[in-house]
């Protein structure tokens, strides 16, 4: 499981996601991080949340 940077096509907005062992995004984490991006939270905030949620998920 790891955190991956994502650049939105077209808008070039940066976001982050958490990928599982199968390299697929963890759905509920992806939805929350997408929400943070949609309400224009700082990319650094979204990145920090992604790392924290990954740590919580593997705990």
Residues 16-43: tens digit of each pLDDT: 899 999 999 999 999 999 899 889 899 8
8 Å CB contact between 1 and 20:
yes
Our measurement of the distance from residue 51's CA atom to the centroid of its chain's CA atoms, rounded to an integer in Å, reads 8
Q: Give the per-residue pLDDT at 13.
A: 80
Q: What is the mean pLDDT of the chain?
A: 91
41 vs 1, 35, 56, CA distance in Å?
Answer: 24, 9, 21
What is the number of domains present in the chain?
A: 1
Place 59 in a pLDDT band, splitting at 50, 70 and 90: confident
Domain of 20, in residue numbers: 2-58
Question: 19 has which bridge partners?
Answer: 2, 25
The pLDDT value given to residue 41: 93
The percentage of residues in the chain with a pLDDT greater than 90, rounded to a whole number, is: 64
């Amino acid at each position: 499981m790891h955190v991956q940077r994502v650049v939105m096509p077209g808008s070039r907005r940066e976001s982050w996601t958490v990928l599982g062992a199968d390299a697929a995004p963890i759905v509920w984490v992806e939805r929350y991080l997408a929400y943070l991006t949609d309400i224009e939270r700082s990319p650094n905030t979204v990145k920090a949340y992604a790392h924290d949620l990954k740590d919580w998920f593997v705990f």
